[in-house]
Every structure is written in C-alpha cells, then in structure tokens.
Structure 1
Amino acid sequence: MSSKQKILSVAGLLSGALVWGVMWYPYRLLHGMGVGGILSTLITYCVAMLLGLFFMGPIWRELRHAGWQSIVLLASAGWTNLGYVLATLEGEIMRVMLLFYLAPLWTLFFSYWLLREKLNSFGYAIILLSLSGAFVILWDARHGLPLPQNLAEWIGLSAGMSFALMNVMVRRIQHLSLNFKVVSAWFGTALFTAVLAGYQDSFMTGLQNIPTDAWGWLLAVGLAICVITYSVQYGLTHLPANQAIVLFLSELVFAAVSAYLLAGEEIGSREIIGAGLIVSASLLSGKIHHHSSTNKIKSAWENK
C-alpha cells in the first residue's frame, strides 16, 4: 500500500468517526419531528444509495462474482447502521456507544475465523480488557449479572458485533470493487429497514405525514451518509481490520462531547473506567497485526 493510500485511508476512517460520533443528533431531531428511527433510516439510506448509484456506474455487473460473502456484508452493514440509529434514539449515548465499541473483541474472533489472523498474547489481553470494561459499565448490584439494562443497550451491543463482522468482510472481499461494497452497505441497510417497516401498521401513515422541514434534514443526512460511507469503506478496504477499529475510537470522543453539549449527558465514574478498559483493548488490537507481521505470521488470505 502506498503512502497516499494510507493517508487517504486514515483520513476516511477519522472523518467517518467524526460524522458517526454526532449523527445521532439529526436522527433525534427527526424523531422529534415525528419521523421514527426505522422510517428515517430507510429514507436516508435510500437517498444515499440513489445519489451513489448516479456516480458509480454499472456495478451490477459484479453480481455474478459476488457470492455468499456479499450477502454477509449486506446483512452485517444493514444491522450495524439501523442498530446504531435505534440504539442512540432511545439509550444514553455514551453507554450505547461503549457497548458498540466492544467491537474489537468481536473483530478478534471474526478475523481469526475469516481472515486467519492468529490469536497471540495481545489477543488474550484484548479479550480480558474488553470483558472487564463491559463488566464495569454494566454491573448493577440491583440486577446482579452485568448485562445490558434495556433494549437500546442490547441493540447497541448487537450492532457492535455486526460492525465487527462488516469490518472484517470488507477486508476479506478483495475481488469486488470498492463501489460494490459501498452500495452493499446502503442497500443492506435499506433492505433490512424496509423489511422491519413492513411489519409496522403506521408506516404508510408516517411516510405521508412527514413535515416539510424534516425532508431537508432527511436529504442532508442522506448526502452525508453517501459521502462518508465511501470514505469509510475505502479505509476499511486498505487497512487491516484490527488497525481500522483503533481509528474508529475517536468516535467515542466525538460522541462524548456532542452528548454533553447537545443532550446534557454526563459521564459517570463507571463509564470512564469502562471506557478506559475498552479503549485500551482497541489500542492493543492494532498490535496484533504488527506483531504477526514482524514474526512473519501471515493469514491464508493474505498469502493469496
């Protein structure tokens, strides 16, 4: 990888972290205008997909080469994006985001399974730190077991698992173009959301009653998603999965600042300690690839 590609990859992932660190806010504004999370997600990702397809050309030619891996990418991207919206609409931003950012733990397992990246001492440290961070954040003497306390937190946790899988799949599917991967993320989210919307009796009524000023926000968010998804997918394609997750950590900073300024949320001592453990795990995840490269341990995929 050239130095230019590396710079662009890092910039793409950091810009994605900034946008997604504050993206919860326009979705909450839309929710306040009467546009629910499922409906707003469906519209914004349809906007992103239509805008993207206009510039990307005939990517459907790659469908015959896509295979089962593209279906996994499509499904994982769909739940990652929809889960993010639903979790941040109802839950405390930082608790949800910290559970989402247990992703290095899940990335470790998916990388071993799909990329053949071998587990070493850093990997065991990541497991310990991630689980310790989750334990600190979730422990509640009244409920006993350190589990998510509400539906939003469960969604945030599962979306983080899905994000880890998407991260690894983008890295694995090297035979498909970047454009195809980007559209898969948009289409997967739109399809996933459309299926859920079909079970809502009030969906059509909500669609017909969207306020005029809400359409401006929907179009703006769709445009932002269009641009930033391409940037993020570029970074995920050219950087190792365990290094990419480290760059995404800056999203926690952007989320914490925006949650404090825009939602008045304050971070407690447990969240701070848990965040420190999870951040440490994420930082160590970048060492896995470096350590394995130094010792000439290569995955079967990387040797192709």
Structure 2
Amino acid sequence: MGSIRDSDRAAKLHAATPVFSLLLAATLWGVFWFPLRWLEQYGLTGLWQTFFIYTGTLWVVIIILWRQGMNFFQELGMAPWPLLFMALTSGVCNTTFILAMLEGEVMRVLLLFYLSPLWATLIGWLFLKEELHALSIGVLIVAIGGAVVMLWHPGMGYPWPAGKGDWLALVAGINFAILNSLVRFTDRVSIPVKTSVAWFGAILVSGGLILFTGIGLPEVSFQVAGYAWMIGALMMVIMTFSVVYGVTHMPVHRSAVILLFELVAGAVSSQWLTQEVILPKEWIGGTLIVIAAWLSARRQLQNPDKDLIV
C-alpha cells in the first residue's frame, strides 16, 4: 500500500510540476516591468538595459555550445537564413517589449502585446497557407474588436495608438507572432539552439541600435550594470526555461491558457506599485483580447506545436 501511495504522490507531483513551472514563468513575466523601471530610475536606459540583460544569458549559450560542440553549428547550417531572421525578429520583439514597458502603462502594453494571436492567425493564413477555420475567424473578429476598443481615439473618431508605448507594444506583439511562426518553420532545429539564437538576436539588435543612434553608456555605477546582467543571467533564464519545460510537458492549448496568468500578475503588481489606472475601455478591450488568446489556445488543440521561444 505504501509503495502505491508513493507512486500516486510521484505521479501527481509529475503532473503538477509543468503547471507550477508555467505559473512561475507567467508571474515573472508579469512583474518583469518592475526591475526594468527600477534600473531606469538609476539611469540605465532601455536599449542598454536590453543589451546587458541579454548579455547575461550568454553563460547558458556557452554551456549549450560546449555540450553540443560541432552539432550546434551543424544545426545552424540546417536553416541559416530562417535562423538569422529568427534572431532579428527575436531581437526586435524583446527590445521593443522592454522599451514599451518603460514608455507605456504596464497593463496597456501587456494587453496590446497579447494581440499576437491576431497577427499569428494572419501570418499563418497569408504566408504558411493555413486554412481559416471557424475558430480562426473567431480569433480574428474578437482580437480586432479588442484592438479597436483599446485603441479607440475619441478625438480622431477611429482607433489609433495613443503614444510611443502603444506602438512599441504592437511591434513587439507582431514580431512575437512572426518569431513563433519561424519556430514552427525550423522544426528540425533543437530548442536549445533556437533559444540561443533568439537571445543572441536581442543582443545584436539592441547593440546595433545603440551604435546607430549613438547613445552612449549612461553614467551609472558598475553595480547597476551588474544588476541588469544578473536579471538576464537569472530571471530571464528562469523565465525562458520554465516556459520551455512547461510547454514541453503539457499540451500547448493548456499551457497557453496558463500563461495568460501573466496578465493577472501584471494587473495586480501595476495597481499595487504604480499610480496607473486601468480605464473602462481598457477593461473591455482587454477582456476581448484575453478571449481571443483563449480561442487561439483552443485552435492550437487542432494544430499542436511544442516549440515556443520567449
């Protein structure tokens, strides 16, 4: 009897671990804005934050490279152009997401970013030749409705981004949708290699923008730069692999719903720690966007895909 109970406990723990892993990732992503704004208060601007944070992930890339050896480069050679495009797309996505969190309101940025199912559906239809089923059309209609409500500008009489934060959040969401389409396209390449490519892309894009814009390193202490590096080395790595573990050990349509907890974490933390107010139209538009994300998760039940890069 004792061994049966022990095996039952082990089975329950095994089943619960992916759920806890995804909840941890969603919570950390939902409060990710806080260390970003904290670093900004100490003078470290958005592009430099992105550069230092993703440089902090390189210790994992080095371990992956050391363990895989020449196989790492052989996998890169399987799809060099798609992987290069993946690096650039990931770089734009992560850089604009961090800049949006610094420029805009937390919940508004998160909700506009979560319009990615809309872009994913359109990309799948236009470029991947995926059929538009009834559920896909439902995702489009509900997501577009949420976007219209969120972005409605009374003075103009039509939906339009309210400021730089909105634009950055939309760009981040579009690139996130493209990124995950590329993840599906490069299915022969392993998750560790694609994750390394995605992280390196953030370093490449943020570093390139720093050089292009001529933004010098702010006068911050070595300690502040070290904090940014540690956020990447610990928090970013934990968030990424928590998602990868959870998605790998759970049907994607379920994991996608659990990851919506990011919005709850973002709402609670922003209401508690900032003076930002969520307007009624943002509640309504946000609800529609969440419903679209849920419908998108249900759609994934018809076309499961275990790869996810964050």
The C-alpha deviation readout for 1:6-33, integer Å capped at 9, x for no partner, is 8766555443322111111111111111
Among 211, 214, 220, the alignment partner of 2:224 is 214
Q: Per-residue deviation at 1:163?
A: 0.9
1:30 aligns with 2:39: yes
- 2:208 matched to which residue of 1? 195
Gaps of 5+ in 2: 1-11, 306-310
Distance 1:168 1:254 in 2: 26
**Structure 2 vs 1, CA of residues 140 and 107 (structure 1 numbering), >3 Å: closer, same or farther?**
same
1:286 aligns with 2:286: no
Q: How many residues align?
A: 289
AA aligned opposite 1:149: A
Give me the whole-angstrom Cα distance separating, in 2, the residues matched to 1:244 and 1:24. 22
Alignment of 1:135-150 (within 5 A): 135-150=148-163
Q: What code does the residue aligned with 2:149 have?
A: V
What residue is the counterpart of 1:49 in the other structure? 58
- The structural deviation recorded for 1:240 is 7.3
CA contact (8 A) 2:92 2:202 kept: yes
Aligned to 1:110, the other structure's residue is in SS state helix
Whether the 8 Å contact between 1:5 and 1:238 is mirrored in structure 2 is no
Unaligned stretches of 5+ in structure 1? 300-304
Q: Distance in 1 between matches of 2:124 and 2:246?
A: 17
Distance 2:214 2:80 in 1: 35
Percent identity of equivalent pairs: 33
| RMSD of aligned Cα (Å) | 2.7
Contact 1:107-1:241 within 8 A present in 2 as well? no
Amino acid corresponding to residue 247 of structure 1 in structure 2: I
My pick for the range that moved more, 253-262 or 11-20, is: 11-20
Aligned residues of 1:52 and 1:226 also touching (Cα < 8 A): no
Greater mean alpha carbon deviation, residues 218-227 or residues 125-134: 218-227
Question: Which residue in 1 is equivalent to 2:30?
Answer: 21
**Counterpart position of 2:185:** 172
- Shift of residue 286 of structure 1? 2.1
1:177-230 Cα distance to aligned partner (Å, 9 max, x none): 111011011100000111100023342x42xx3214413421321121123223
Task: Report deviation, 1:160.
Answer: 0.4
Query: Is the Cα–Cα contact under 8 Å of residues 161 and 167 in structure 2 kept in the other structure?
Result: yes
Q: Residue 71 of structure 1 corresponds to which residue in structure 2?
A: 84
Alignment of 1:111 onto 2:121: no
Match of 1:265 among 265, 273, 276: 276
